[in-house]
Chains A and B, each alone.
Chain A
Amino acid sequence: MIRASKDIWRGYLIGIVWLLALLWPLLGIHSDGTLSFSRTLQVWLIIAVITLLLILITLLYKNQKLTWISGPVARTRSAIGSSSQKVPTWGWIMLAALFALTFPLYTGRSAQDVAINVLVYICLGLGLNIVIGLAGMLDLGYIAFYGVGAYTYALLSIHFQLSFWLALPFAAFTACIAGCIIGYPTLRMRGDYLAIVTLGFGEIVRIILNNWMTLTNGPNGILGIKAPGIYYPSFADGFSIEHLWLKKLHYVYYVVLLLVVFTIIAVHRLNFSRIGRAWEAIREDETAAELMGVNTFKLKLLAYAMGAIFGGLAGAFFAARMRFVSPESFTFIESAMVLAMVVLGGMASIPGIILGAMALVVLPEVFREFELYRMLAFGASMTLMMLFRPAGLIPAKRMGKRSEEKEGA
C-alpha cells in the first residue's frame, strides 16, 4: 500500500516538473521576443494544486476513508441506473424524438445552427461507423465522400437546376461510386496500410476539387446553390400549390433531422441484418469469416459503398444549407473529427455516436470563451475519456441483444 502510494507521488512529481518544462515555452515566450515567468508559474501552480487535491481524494477513496460520501453516491447512482432501466428503449427514443422535434420552438438562431451541425455530424458518424465500427476498416479519408456528395449537388443545382430532393439520390450514387473506386484497390490491405491509403485518397479528392478549375471553380468554390424547396397546398385564395424555399434556419433543421432519422433507421436495420453480422465477423477475423462462407471481398466493398452513401447524403445537405461549397470544408481535420466522434461515442453503437457528435460539436462551442486553450481542453478530455471509458461513452450492447430478441420472438 505504502509502496503503491510512493509510486503515485513519484509519478506525480515527475509529471508536474515536466509540465512546467513544457508550459514555459508555450506561455512564457512571447511573439515579440520577450520572456516572462510569472504567468507560467501562475498557471502551473493552479494545475499543480488541483491535481494534488485530486490525487489526495483518490488515495483517500482507495483507502476507504471516504465511505461517508461514496456510500450514498453509489446508492443513488444504482437507484438511478435501475430506474432508468425500467424505462423501455422505445420510451427513450420517443423522448429523444420529442426533444428533437420541438427543439427549434424554444431556441434561438445560434443554438439551431449548432444543432444543425450536430445532426450533420451524426449522419457522417453513422456512415463512418459502418466502415470502422462494423466492418473494422480504419478509414482516414471519409470526408472525401462528404465532399463528393456536396459537389454533386452543387454542380447539379448550378448547371441543371435540379432540386435538392432529386439530387439526393445522385449525390448518394456518385459518393457510392467514389467509395467503390477507393475501396476496390485497397481491399487487399489491412490495418495500418489501409489507413494510410485512405488518408491519401481523402487528400487526392480534396486536391482534385481544388485544382480542377473548369469543373469545380477551384479554391473559389461554387456559389449560388439552391436551398431545398417544397411544394405545399395553399388555401389562401382558392386552392393552389405553392412553392417554398426552405431557407429559414428552422426549416433547414427539419430537413437535416429527416436525413438523420433516415440514416439512423437504415444503419440500425443494417446493423441487425445478416449483412451486419457478416461485417462484424469480418471485423473479428477475416479469414475465419471467409471459412464460414462470407464473401469478404464483396462485403467489404459494400461496407465502403454504404458508408460513402451516407457521407454523400450529408454532403448534399451541407451544400444546400451553406449554398456555397469550397474544397477547404473537406480537409483531413474533418475526417479526424468524425473519426473522433465514432471512437469517443462508442464504436458500432448508434446512441453512442449521437452522443459523441453532440459532445464534439457542442463542447468547442461552450469552450469558445477560452479560445486559446480550446484544443488543449479538447485533447485533455479525449485523453481522460480513453482512460476511463475506453469502449466509448455508450459502448455497443448489440452482441447480447440479438440473442435476447430471438428469445422473445
Chain B
Amino acid sequence: MTEQPVLELQDIHTSYGNIKALKGISLSVFQGEIVTIIGANGAGKSTTLMSICNIVPIEKGAVFYYGEAIHKRPADTLPARGLIQVPEGRRIFPRLSVEDNLDMGAFFRKDHAGIAADMGHVYNLFPVLKDRTRQKGGTLSGGEQQMLAIGRALMGRPKLLLLDEPSLGLAPMIVQKIFEIINNINTINKTTILLVEQNANIALKTAKRGYVLETGTILFSDQSDALLGNPDIRKAYLGEI
C-alpha cells in the first residue's frame, strides 16, 4: 500500500475571467516533506496556493487534504484542519500590534493555555518579535514582517504550511536566516511544508523535491538534487549561461 499524501492536487484548472492561470496542475506532498514549486513571475505559483486554500475557486480538478476533498470547503474552515498559508507579500495586519497579529493566527482556537504556550514558542523562534510585541505590524522591517507572518501561521499549529515566496524583497542575509527557520520548523515541529519560490537556488537546497511551473503547467518534477543538476533548469532559473 502506498502512503497517503498530505496534499494531492489532481488536474487543477483555474482562471481569472478569460485568462487561464492554471492548466492542469497535479502534484502531491507527503508527510514530513518540504516540497517546492519554482517558476518565473506569472507562472501560476501563487494561484496554485490560493486555489488550494479556495480563495480563488478552481474550475476543474480536485484538491485532497489527508484524503479528503477540500476544494468545495470554505477557505476559513481550512486553518482549523491544520492547512495554513503564509500569503505572498506577507500580508500581516499593518495597524494591529505584533501580539495581536499573532493572536489572529490562533483565531479559530479556544485553548487559551495552548495559545499562550505557542506564543512563547514563536517568540523563542523569532526573538526580534519579542522586543516589539506592542509595535504595529506595519512598522516592522521587511524581514521582521516575514517572521511575523510565519509566526502568525505557526500560531494555528499547522500540519501543512504553505509558504508563498518568503524571500520576496529581502536581503540575502535575511533570506538565509528565514530559510534556516523554515528548515527548523520542518525538522523540529515535523510540519510538512509546501514552498513556493522564485529564488530557485535556495528553494531547491531547502526542499526535498521540486516542481517547476511555467505558464500554468508543470514542466518538470523531480528530487531537488536532480533539478539542481538539470542543465535546462540551471539555464532558465539559476541564471547560468
Contact = CB atoms under 8 A, between A and B. Distances in A.
Interface stretch (A30-38, A92-100, A293-301): A293-301
A277 to B, nearest CB: 6
A291 B78 CA distance: 8
Nearest to A399: B97
A402 interface: yes
Interface string A107-132: 00000000000000000000000000
Interface residues of B, number: 31
A34 B152 CA distance: 70
Interface in A372-409: 399-400, 402-404, 406
Given A277-B104, A399-B95, A403-B134, A293 B77 contact: yes
Contacts of B78: 293
A287 B103 contact: no
Given A287-B87, A291-B53, A402-B99, A278 B75 contact: no
A394 B78 CA distance: 39
A213 B234 CA distance: 77
Interface string B93-133: 11111011001110110000000000000000000000001
Contacts of B92: 285, 288
Interface residues of A, number: 23
A281 B152 CA distance: 13
B91 interface: yes
A280 interface: yes
B220 to A, nearest CB: 29
B55 interface: yes
Contact of A293 (B76, B94, B95): B76
> Which residue, of B84, B95, B104, B136, has the highest number of chain A Cβ atoms within 10 A?
B104
A275 B79 CA distance: 17
Contacts of B55: 287, 290-291
Contact of B99 (A288, A291, A295, A403): A403
B80 interface: yes
A284 B107 contact: no
Contacts of B93: 280-281, 284-285, 288-289
B156 interface: yes
Contacts of B136: 399
Nearest to A291: B85
A403 B152 CA distance: 16
A292 B103 CA distance: 10
B100 A403 contact: yes
B75 A291 contact: yes
B107 A274 contact: yes
A283 to B, nearest CB: 8
Contact of B134 (A274, A292, A400): A400
Contacts, number: 83
Nearest to A274: B107
Contacts of B96: 277, 280-281, 284, 399
B61 interface: no
Nearest to B134: A400
Contacts of A291: 53, 55, 75, 79, 84-85, 87, 91
Contacts of A281: 93, 96, 104, 107
A285 B107 contact: no
Interface string A133-144: 000000000000
B97 A278 contact: no
Given A284-B96, A287-B55, A295-B74, A277 B87 contact: no
A409 to B, nearest CB: 11
Nearest to A406: B99
Given A274-B107, A290-B75, A291-B87, A404 B95 contact: no
B168 to A, nearest CB: 15
Contact of B76 (A277, A284, A290, A406): A290
Contact of B100 (A290, A293, A399): A399
Contacts of A400: 97, 134
B111 to A, nearest CB: 14
B107 A292 contact: yes
B71 to A, nearest CB: 15
Nearest to B84: A291
Contacts of A280: 93, 95-96, 100
Given A287-B55, A290-B75, A402-B97, 15 more contacts: A278-B104, A280-B95, A285-B91, A285-B92, A285-B94, A289-B104, A290-B76, A291-B53, A292-B104, A292-B108, A292-B156, A399-B96, A400-B134, A403-B99, A403-B100
18 contacts: A277-B107, A278-B104, A281-B107, A284-B93, A284-B95, A285-B91, A285-B92, A288-B93, A291-B75, A292-B104, A292-B108, A293-B78, A293-B156, A296-B76, A399-B100, A400-B97, A402-B99, A403-B133
Q: Top 9 closest A-B pairs, CB basis?
A: A293-B79, A284-B93, A293-B108, A288-B91, A400-B134, A403-B99, A295-B76, A399-B97, A290-B75
